[in-house]
Structure 1
């Protein structure tokens, strides 16, 4: 009878141990899933912020390119105007040289 009681206690202990192991695994799995979901959400939010930043940078780059084009056109006009002024000055100098 002592052997049966020992076996009974061993069986009950084994069953309780298996139950505890399974319940701990389920609880850990739920915690892991929640942790993974929160980390995934954080990563998604950060990626969206990066995407928005890239969009803003592209927009700013387009504006900078347009500003450079406008500046280039203005410089070309100023250079043309300077050339015309030099030609006029040269012709005035030639006329003055003939007069003197």
Structure 2
């Protein structure tokens, strides 16, 4: 027959091996869950960055539209100022002519 000490040792080794296997499986499961959590967090951050970029792009597009409208207004004002200057020049000539006749 097997001695009691040897039997206890064999049972202890089997229990320890079983506990180690369960511990390893638990570790792997936690590692996989952690990886999934990191992936989810990265996906959320990526989505937030993309949303921010879309918002920025739309803002830049709005600024471009406003800039083009302002450029057109400035161009129109330049034309009007040029016409007013020409009109003023002609008015001064007429005034000088009227002053010269008196």
The aligned counterpart of 1:43 is 49
Number of aligned pairs? 96
Rounded to whole Å, the distance in 2 between the matches of 1:24 and 1:91 is 99
**Who is 1:6 aligned against?**
12
Cα RMSD over matched residues?
0.8
1:69-88 matched pairs, under 5 angstroms: 69-88=75-94
Give 1:15 shift: 0.3
Compute the TM-score of the two structures, normalised by the length of structure 1: 0.92
Report the Cα distance in structure 2 between the residues aligned to 1:82 and 1:9, rounded to whole angstroms: 107
Unaligned runs of 5+ in 2: 1-6
Query: Which stretch shifts more, 27-36 or 49-58?
Result: 27-36
Query: Normalization by structure 2: what TM-score?
Result: 0.90
Distance in 1 between the 2:86 and 2:12 partners? 109
The range that moved more, 60-69 or 8-17, is 8-17
Q: 1:23 deviation in Å?
A: 0.4
1:57 aligns with 2:63: yes
